[in-house]
Amino acid sequence: MPGEFDFISWIHAQQRPHKSVRVGIGDDLAVLNLASANPASPPRHTPGRVNSGGAPGRADGRSAEDLLLVGVDQVLDGRHFDSTLHSPESIGRKAMNRNLSDCAAMGCLPAAAVIALALPADYGQDRARQLFSGIAAAADPHYCPIVGGDTSTWPGKLAISVTILGRSLGVAPVLRTGAAVGDGIYVTGPLGGSILGRHMTFSPRLDLGRQLATYRPLGNPCIHAMLDLSDGLLQDLPHLLAPSNLHPQLGAKLDPTRIPLHPDALELSKTSGHPPLHHALTDGEDYELLFTSPVQPPVGIRIGTITAAPGILLGDTPAPRGGWEHAL
Q: Positive or negative, the Cα torsion across 125, 140, 227, 261? A: negative
Q: Looking at the chain, which residues constitute the CATH 3.90.650.10 domain(s)?
A: 175-319
Annotation: CATH topology of 21-37+59-173: 60s Ribosomal Protein L30; Chain: A; (3.30.1330)
- The residue-averaged pLDDT of 133-143 equals 98
Neighbours of 289 (CB within 10 A): 26
Q: Looking at the chain, which residues constitute the CATH 3.30.1330.10 domain(s)?
A: 21-37+59-173
Confidence bin at 321 (pLDDT 50/70/90): confident
Annotation: CATH topology of 175-319: Phosphoribosyl-aminoimidazole Synthetase; Chain A, domain 2 (3.90.650)
Neighbours of 90 (CB within 10 A): 19
Per DSSP (E only), the strands in the chain are: 21-23, 30-32, 68-76, 109-120, 146-154, 159-167, 184-187, 225-228, 251-254, 289-293, 301-307, 311-314, 317-318
**Predicted TM-score (pTM) of this structure:** 0.86
Quickly count helices (H) and strands (E) in the chain.
Answer: 8, 13
Confidence bin at 52 (pLDDT 50/70/90): very low
- Poorest-confidence range of 50-59, 78-87, 137-146, 296-305? 50-59
Distance CA 304, CA 136 (A): 38
Per-residue pLDDT of 102-117, as tens digits, reads: 999 999 999 999 999 9
Distance CA 43, CA 196 (A): 35
Per-residue pLDDT of 33-50, as tens digits, reads: 864 444 444 443 333 322
The candidate with the shortest Cα–Cα distance to 275, out of 225, 223, 314, 221, is: 314
Looking only at the bridges linking them, the beta strands covering 301-307 and 251-254 are: antiparallel
